[in-house]
Amino acid sequence: MRKVFRRLFLLLVLAILAGPVFSQSLPFKTLLKTTYDKDFPLVYPDQKDLLDEAVILDTREWEEYSVSHLKPARWVGYETFSMESVADIPREESIVVYCSIGARSQEIGKRLKAAGYQNVYNLYGGIFHWVNEENPVFTPDSIQTEQVHTYNKMWGIWLEKGKKVY
């Protein structure tokens, strides 16, 4: 896990340095390409049919989820994630996991697959890409909001739309 975060940090530093030269989309796409395993299935924000039918799991920490999340999302966390939190979901059900950009959610997705869940997808670009593509997010009271918890100021550079909360 440290190796993954070290690689992500290096890419983040490079992207910050290259920011004035390139648009954020190219560094962000590069970050995602190096973050995701090639054999782990992705779902994109425009794949509404799959997203409408799937169980959506938010793998961010509670502080992030409580600021905003995808409307049907169920919080399962990352540090505190346990298989008991998803025990009621049938193994054949489609599941979409997400976090800020998709790194943590991919790790939770791998755990779900290892536990026998057959149809697990990672939301491409996480909640940052979701909001950047002008999709709505909601508070725990189901009120639409523009606020998104960006984990910290460094990761916040990837959120181009919405209001950043740290």
pLDDT, tens only, 107-162: 999 999 999 999 999 999 999 999 999 999 999 999 999 999 999 999 999 999 99
CA distance 53 to 84: 22
CA distance 71 to 166: 21
Question: What mean pLDDT comes out for the span 71-87?
Answer: 98
**Binning pLDDT at 50, 70 and 90, where does residue 81 land?**
very high
Q: What pLDDT digit, counting tens, does each position of 34-71 carry?
A: 999 999 999 999 999 999 999 999 999 999 999 999 99
List the one residue out of 56, 144, 32 whose CA is nearest residue 108: 56
Q: What pTM was computed for the model?
A: 0.85
User: How many degrees, rounded to 5, is the angle at CA 164 between CA 161 and CA 165?
Assistant: 155
Taken in order 131, 104, 97, 77, the sign of the CA dihedral is negative
Matching residue, tokens 């009621």: 88
Q: Please provide the CATH number assigned to the domain covering 40-165.
A: 3.40.250.10
